[in-house]
Amino acid sequence: MKKILAAGAATALLVLAGCSSSDQSSGSSSSPSPTSGGVPTSTDLNVSAAASLKKTFTAIADAFERDNPGVTVKLSFDGSSTLVNQIKQGAPASVFASADEKNMTKLGDRAVDPKIFATNTLVIVTAPGNPKGIRSVADLNKADVTTVVCQSAQPCGNATDQVEKNTGTTIRAASEEQSVTAVLTKVTSGQADAGLVYVTDAKGAGDKVTTVVDPAFAAVVNKYPIATVRGGADEAVAKQFVDAVLGPAGQQILADAGFGKP
């Protein structure tokens, strides 16, 4: 059974000590199978992935486990910058999937042969029905609008910074979150009127949000790289998982979630 580890910065040390998260999912999934068997039994594979990949990588990992009996994929999701810091501090990771190339680069030569596997762009999400009438990035600064964004160190925050630069707008955010998931949660819970998240997060939220697209978003595209981590356990299994993400079925899972092609 795959274990999805809670990867918040406050609990990172506990995760490193081997505490299991209560956020678990079974290996049963109707998603297409991205790889075939041939992996040794009783293998734990630690995969650290950007928060925006939670749904898709859970589906890919489910299929990988089905096709490779005895393999347990342990998924850890958080902001890419946070994950890099955790890996550098000793967190177990054999595969790292980042929401941008910048944070993959920060891992240095520990990132083995990174490859782009998906792309993503920003959108604005609001409460259902868009009650504040937000139509553009500039509208996020309306006096009656509470806006949340990602921290600049995170890929979603770096993309937000670039959109601000391109549009000449400085968003007066009520808070800066450490992951795109945290931004989405603040909007869906009513703590914020609007937030900047990825297309895939907005699609995954369904009718819990209304999506607003500013033409400026098209010019800022996040490229998602994946790599095995040098020094990680079971390098052959890690490479097989990377191949699963890059393969036809893995790519279909990503496309169905709204990710763009590499």
Q: Model pTM?
A: 0.82
Q: How many domains does the chain have?
A: 2
Both 186 and 235 in one domain: the answer is: no
Angstrom distances, CA of residue 12 to CA of 77, 228, 250: 11, 21, 28
Both 202 and 243 in one domain: the answer is: no
Annotated binding-site residue? 125: no
Cβ-based neighbour number of residue 18 at 10 Å? 8
Identify whether 262 is part of a domain.
no
Both 97 and 49 in one domain: the answer is: yes
Instruction: Give CA–CA dist 30/33, Å, rounded.
Output: 9
pLDDT digits (tens, 9 = 90+) for 40-95: 558 999 999 999 999 999 999 999 999 999 999 999 999 999 999 999 999 999 99
Instruction: Give CA–CA dist 255/252, Å, rounded.
Output: 5
Annotated binding-site residue? 94: no
Kind plus residue range of the DSSP H or E element containing 201: helix 199-205
Annotated binding-site residue? 80: yes
Both 114 and 157 in one domain: the answer is: no
Identify whether 148 is part of a domain.
yes
Both 145 and 89 in one domain: the answer is: no
Identify whether 92 is part of a domain.
yes
Owning domain of residue 154: 122-219
Annotated binding-site residue? 229: no
Identify whether 193 is part of a domain.
yes
Cβ-based neighbour number of residue 143 at 10 Å? 5
- At 8, which CATH number? 3.40.190.10
| Tens of pLDDT, residue by residue, the chain (262 residues) | 444 443 443 333 333 333 333 333 333 334 444 544 554 558 999 999 999 999 999 999 999 999 999 999 999 999 999 999 999 999 999 999 999 999 999 999 999 999 999 999 999 999 999 999 999 999 999 999 999 999 999 999 999 999 999 999 999 999 999 999 999 999 999 999 999 999 999 999 999 999 999 999 999 999 999 999 999 988 999 999 999 999 999 999 999 999 999 9
Both 105 and 127 in one domain: the answer is: no
